């Protein structure tokens, strides 16, 4: 049985009545840490993480699903955690992003929209001897290797 697949089922079951919450990632690390990342349209409360942890932990123990010792960690993605799901992109519309492309280029701009195919970011482009202009550019998800929200302390 694939542990990550079973954990996804358990998390989805637990948050089924919470349309504001969504699963971002599940990983069983070689070190014995089972990490679950959950996000929410309005953030995630510690009580949500505790409830998910108890639900998943209880069922994994009942099913004796993991043979070796493990540590279950349920948290929300940190600000430095790359965006993975469309819902995370949509949650971060109007924030500044740093987008690393698979070809090695890096683009930065304000996220204007996101759909199944990709994102539109507004970038400030300056040509030599001219004023910077704001351009909206579409980037396909298939061309993106990593996207991080840029934190502004203005």
Share above pLDDT 70 across residues of the chain, in percent, rounded to a whole number: 99
Superfamily of domain 3-75: K homology (KH) domain (3.30.300.20)
What residue ranges do the domains of the chain occupy? 3-75, 86-149
**Exposure of 37 in the CB half-sphere (CA atoms within 13 A):** 14
DSSP 8-state code for residue 151: P
- pLDDT tens across 13-31, in order? 999 999 999 999 999 998 9
3-state secondary structure of 153: coil
Whether 86-149 and 3-75 are alike in CATH topology: the answer is: no
Instruction: Report angle CA 138, 141, 145 to the nearest 5 degrees.
Output: 115
> Which CATH fold would you assign to the domain 86-149?
SH3 type barrels. (2.30.30)
CA dihedral 32, 66, 35, 8 (to 10 degrees): 160
DSSP 8-state code for residue 94: T
Whole-structure pTM value: 0.80
- pLDDT tens across 85-140, in order? 999 999 999 999 999 999 999 999 999 999 999 999 999 988 888 888 999 999 99
């Amino acid at each position: 049985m694939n542990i990550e697949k079973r954990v996804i089922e358990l998390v989805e079951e637990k948050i089924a009545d919470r349309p504001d919450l969504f699963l971002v990632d599940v990983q069983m690390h070689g070190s014995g840490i089972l990490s679950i990342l959950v996000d929410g349209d309005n953030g995630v409360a510690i009580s949500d993480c505790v409830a998910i942890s108890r639900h998943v932990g209880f069922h994994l123990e009942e099913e004796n699903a993991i043979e070796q010792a493990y540590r279950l960690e349920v948290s929300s993605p940190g600000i430095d955690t790359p965006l993975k799901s469309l819902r995370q992109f949509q949650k971060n519309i109007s924030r500044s992003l740093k987008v690393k492309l698979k070809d090695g280029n890096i683009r930065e701009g304000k996220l204007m929209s996101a759909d199944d195919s990709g994102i539109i970011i507004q970038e400030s482009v300056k040509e030599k001897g001219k004023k910077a202009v704001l351009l909206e550019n579409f980037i396909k998800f298939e061309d993106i290797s990593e996207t991080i929200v840029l934190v502004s302390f203005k």
